[in-house]
Amino acid sequence: MALRCLLKSPTTSSYISKICGFRMHGTKAVASVVEEHVSAMLRSEREDEEYADVDWDNLGFSLVPTDYMFATKSCREGNFEQGCLSRYGNMELNPAAGILNYGQAKLQIFIQKTHTKYSYYKRFFLGLIEGMKAYRGEDGRVLMFRPELNAMRMKNGAERMCMHSPSVQQFMEGVKQTVLANKRWVPPPGKGSLYLRPLLFGSGASLGVSAASEYTFVVFGSPVQNYFKEGTAALNLYVEEVIPRAYIGGTGAVKAISNYGPVLDAMRSAKARGFSDVLYLDAETKKNIEEVSAANIFLVKGNTIVTPATNGTILRGIIRESVIEIALDLGYKVEERVVPVEEMKEAEEVFCTGTAAGIASVGSITFQNIRTEYKVGDGLVTQQLRSILVGIQNGSIQDTKGWVLEID
């Protein structure tokens, strides 16, 4: 408002005309140019700040728009153009884009067996996602945890789904540019992280069921803290017996967008009853645990840590793989195998792992209206593993494995 009042002055208008190199007609035109220049100057000043204007003590896990995002597209031959940064904002899509027409389509097949309805999903989709984080260390460095594994997982997923994919190098470059451009949005040490969402989807127009002719790779970010509303408190899980997360021959092992839509109803129902999340059983027998909606699961029994084997229906989580390696280094016995749901009753501790969730303690699991409770708190296996993992991620523990990448 003050700026517009100032621009009503003929003297100001004349001066702006001179510095802009052309004649302006009316204060509206002058205001538009000046506001654009002032806005650019203010943006530049803001981006030079160490931190964005965020209440870091009250971050949750919801979208906080940052300054920039990265994007690139592929051609029919499958090669991706050199990507570039742009202001974070909406994207334009052809209404016939593969992601819009087949991204969430599904064919449900119902099988009646002993009066129980089983749901199996066959999905046509053209979208993959990844999840990764940038951390700020106590020394001010910005660090990422094993980002090359995310790049390789997206590439493998794209091959499985007949999609064009950026190379590992292109993926890494997009992520690095996004982090550096949004560095002021990386929370202070101990206050959270900058969550990065690489996204690959079919943007080429297609009317029939087919692979798209063009794909778009995007990376954007948002500062986050705890994934679950419970914060660092223990989770209470509910075992879902009707809706499976994945099935043999499907895409459970791929981080595809359509793996998440079908379980939203089960999640909503469980949370309405006070549970934190849902634990799913295998689709074939309904007797073995697989994973939580967006996390892998582990059971602890004495010196043994058990987790369901990644047999094609379970996502091979990067935090999962890292926790297994840390546990083995500490002398624990780790078993990757089929885990019967009844075995949960024998566990002493249970925890979930994932990029968003980190390592989250589970306080109870309810199965067929029977609630089993587990140990939580300091001095336990879960806390030991969490402390080491977080220390490596934020640089407070020496990285002897080459897992951490400094972004500079």
Q: How far apart are CA 59 and CA 192, in angstroms?
A: 8
Please, are residues 265 and 392 in contact by the beta-carbon 8 Å criterion? no
Cα separation, 340 vs 204, whole angstroms:
44
Residues paired with residue 260 on neighbouring β-strands, in sequence order: none
Please confirm, yes or no, whether 191 is among the known catalytic residues: no
Cα distance between residue 207 and residue 201, in whole Å: 16
Q: Residues near 263 by Cβ (< 8 Å), separated by ≥ 6?
A: 240, 243, 245, 278, 280, 293
Tokens of 309: 């084997």
DSSP state string for 185-238? GSPPTTS-EEEEEEEEEE-SB-SSSS--S-EEEEEEEEEE--SSTTTTSPEEEE
Residues in the chain: 408
In the block, tokens 């509303």 appear at 229
Catalytic-role residue among 133, 155, 183, 255:
255
Residues annotated as catalytic are: 255
